[in-house]
Chain A
Amino acid sequence: MATTTAAVTLSSDLLSDAMSVTASTTCMKAGTSADGLDQLEYAVVEIATGDEYDLVCTTPTAAKASKLFVKNHSIDETYYVAITQNAQAIGRLYGGDWMFIPADFHDAAADIAITSNGGTNKIEYALFHEGTVLTTT
């Protein structure tokens, strides 16, 4: 069993007292605390303006766990990628932003797509998952 941990820290001086919120989780397969996610897709891609790219192409299988990390490496803060799940907008990543979402992408209607805006965006993404149906050649 692979052990993969994800930790986040949110820090700010927005408030009167310093804010520091931390959370950590071990990435587990669906419904278990004993078996970690053991498969990974990790890539860096450049996407031209207007192009839509399927980040996660789903295939219908039994419910499984997935954790998706995406970062926009663009240095121009006006560049962004729009993120959609099953054609529904879920967020935008401007230059330098990242997201981390736990979800069940093992559903035909849960694919994740990104569309580049403003210019060519360089995207880094990592999908931790527990298996999918590979396409036969």
Chain B
Amino acid sequence: MATTTATITLSSTDLLSDELALTTTSTLTQTGTATGIEHTTGLAMKTITSTAKGTASGQVVLYTADDFAAIPYLYVKNLATTAGHKIFIYDDTTSGDPLQFQLDAGDFGFIPMHGDKTYAAYASNNPTKMEFMVLGKDQ
């Protein structure tokens, strides 16, 4: 069985009176079990060319609803280097395409998703590069 871990470190020496040094690791498992996840889409890098959501072309689909069994884990990073060049990730399944996350240049996110919604991205600037990966159990 494969072992997959996700570690985050949040640190600051001047935000609080004392140093902030928060590190935590999660072993990624199949829902409700101690069995490790088995599949990944692999790391992808794509260029977003759309500056709007909905029917416009040029958006990037990060994940298609029900592609993986719950819970798939989404890693995403905005590869832009200019501040203000944002990526907007929205729920393309729900009516109205509600906005979920906003990643400014250099930002990353790690989200254990429900798995039953399609996620797509558009950007404030054309083009904007991003990288992403889904980990979980394919179905």
Binding site for B on A (CB under 8 A): 2-15, 19, 21, 23, 25-26, 28, 30-34, 38, 40, 65, 67, 69, 71, 77-78, 80, 85-86, 88-94, 96-104, 126
Q: Which residue of A lies closest to B23 (CB)?
A: A7
B9 touches A77 (CB 8 A): no
Can you report 10 A-B residue pairs in the complex whose CB atoms are below 8 A from each other?
A: A12-B4, A14-B2, A21-B75, A85-B98, A88-B91, A88-B100, A96-B27, A98-B6, A101-B111, A103-B100
Please give me the 6 A-B residue pairs with the lowest Cβ-Cβ distance, nearest first: A12-B4, A31-B84, A4-B12, A33-B83, A2-B15, A23-B108
B13 touches A3 (CB 8 A): yes
Since A77-B34, A94-B32 are in contact, a sample of 8 more A-B pairs with Cβ atoms closer than 8 Å, ordered by chain A residue number, is A6-B10, A8-B110, A14-B39, A25-B108, A31-B104, A92-B71, A103-B102, A126-B22
CA distance A5 to B22 in the complex (A): 11
CA distance A21 to B77 in the complex (A): 11
Query: What string of 1s and 0s marks CB contacts (under 8 Å) between B2-35 and chain A?
Result: 1111111111111110001010101111011110
User: Chain B contacts of A98 at CB under 8 A?
Assistant: 6, 8, 24, 26, 110
